[in-house]
């Protein structure tokens, strides 16, 4: 069960929206420091800055985002992004799978796309984002299985850019498929403490929370 005083150790704080400003990036860094968060997730152009800003915090890693937000860039672009992030000091990667290819039943392409990025990650954890709001339950199940088979350490539910929020039902569905073979990260719709706790009970291991919601959730948890 999650310890509320250590909620930061379950949380990736992100600043990955299109309209995020440098002020919000600085706020993300501040929140990550104050709450000892396990991870910070910035947009690519500012990732190296965040790595340097958190260099004195070995308990916190920086995630490099790959293929945001659609997942539809080519595999070559995704692997180049992954390699650049690793060179910059990122120690985890969050990759959007190719939703268009998945929904077109191009499963071999989806598998090879993920596998290529997993190899480019050089052994660091890869979190594969399904973007569940666009998928049927059957597609979610097959996507989760494909991601794990291709080398994902985490199956992640969404980018936070989608049309509908992640729910505890999604977590239970993915857990049923992946079992103990991968961890689950919920993102997209984790905007209050009750939702976070319900997802944790459903089998979630990590939470991706935008900096705009993280401060409120942490304040409620500490109270």
Query: What is the residue whose two structure tokens read 């498929």?
Result: 177
CB 93 within 8 A of CB 124: yes
The residues annotated as belonging to the active site are 94, 156, 185
Nearest to 210 by CA among 2, 19, 77: 19
DSSP per-residue codes, 114-159? HHHHHHHTTTS-EEEE--GGGS-HHHHHHHHHHHHHHT-SEEE---
DSSP string, 51-91: HHHTTT-TT-EEEEEESTTTS-S-HHHHHHHHHHHHHHT--
């Amino acid at each position: 069960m999650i310890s509320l005083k250590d909620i930061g150790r379950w949380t990736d704080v992100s600043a990955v929206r299109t309209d995020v400003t440098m002020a919000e990036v600085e706020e993300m860094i501040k929140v990550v420091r104050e709450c000892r968060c396990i991870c910070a997730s910035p947009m690519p152009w500012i990732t190296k800055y965040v790595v340097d800003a958190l260099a004195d915090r070995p308990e916190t890693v920086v995630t490099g985002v790959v293929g945001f937000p659609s997942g539809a860039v080519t595999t070559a672009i995704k692997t180049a992004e992954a390699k650049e992030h690793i060179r910059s000091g990122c120690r985890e990667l969050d990759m959007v799978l190719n939703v268009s290819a998945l929904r077109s039943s191009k499963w071999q392409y989806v598998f090879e796309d993920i596998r290529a990025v997993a190899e480019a990650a050089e052994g660091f954890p890869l979190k594969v984002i399904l973007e569940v709001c666009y998928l049927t339950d059957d597609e979610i199940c097959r996507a989760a299985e494909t991601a794990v088979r291709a080398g994902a350490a985490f199956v992640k539910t969404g980018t936070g850019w989608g049309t509908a929020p992640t729910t505890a039902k999604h977590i239970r569905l993915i857990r049923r498929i992946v079992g103990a073979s991968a961890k689950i990260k919920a993102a997209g719709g984790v905007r209050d403490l009750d939702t976070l706790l319900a997802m944790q009970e459903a089998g979630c291991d990590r939470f991706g929370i935008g900096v705009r919601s993280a401060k409120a959730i942490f304040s409620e948890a500490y109270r």
